[in-house]
Amino acid sequence: MQYPEPIAKLIDSYMHLPGIGRKTAVRLAYFTVNMDKTDIANFAEALTETKDKLRYCSICGNLTDEDPCEICQDPTRDQSKILVVEQPKDIMVMERMKDYHGLYHVLGGVLSPIDGKGPDELNVRSLIKRLQANEAVNEVIIATNATPEGEATAMYLSKLIKPAGIKVTRLAHGLSVGSDIEYADEMTLFKAVQGRTEI
């Protein structure tokens, strides 16, 4: 038996979202069908507004509803540091920490030849232009993920930036708080030893 066409379309739409398989898409579709009409209208409006009103900041590449974004406009931010992240969502994670008060730059991904992502597909040129235009920047903190692609991107950026005399640092990787050493993999332990600090 086939799903009615509207439900089949809804299931297909949900399956386009990352991490949503067929079973979850079916469950979400039936949940949506049972939603109040007002809630569905609000949901549809939120989706439309997201597409219509959001854009990328012309300075850092963050998602914003005003250009430049709130962070780039803030004169109280530390202008001497730029933290480089893969995606706009990573900025929100760093901001929740409430300990970093510098600027950001969003790459829009990482180097990945398999996926056809080279330096030209990333927001690298604008980072270099930004560094050349702003002499106040004395440190670039690279916060790409600890994946082979993230590491390759960090090394690439470091080689581009260091000749300008700007300090390039990388977020430390290692053991998470509350974890046991016996359960850590070799790479995590290696990174923990490498990123050790004096106490």
Q: Note whether residue 193 is domain-resident.
A: no
Determine the Cα–Cα distance for residues 113 and 17; give it in Å rounded to an integer. 24
Confirm whether 176 is domain-assigned: no
- pLDDT of res. 191: 76
CA 74 to centroid of chain Cα atoms? 20
What range defines the domain where residue 23 resides? 5-53
* Global pTM value: 0.83
Closest CA to 56 of 65, 44, 47: 65
Q: Are residues 165 and 74 in the same domain?
A: yes
What percent of the chain lies above the pLDDT cut of 90?
A: 76
Number of domains in the chain: 2
pLDDT higher than 60, residue 66: yes
- For residue 175, being part of any structural domain is answered with no
Does residue 84 sit within a domain? yes
Q: Is the pLDDT of residue 199 over 60?
A: no
Which of 140, 144, 130 lies closest to 86, judged by CA? 144
pLDDT digits (tens, 9 = 90+) for 6-26: 999 999 999 999 999 999 999
Confidence band (pLDDT; 50, 70, 90) for 143? Answer: very high
Q: Which CATH number characterizes residue 26's domain?
A: 1.10.8.420
In terms of domains, do 78 and 10 share one?
Answer: no
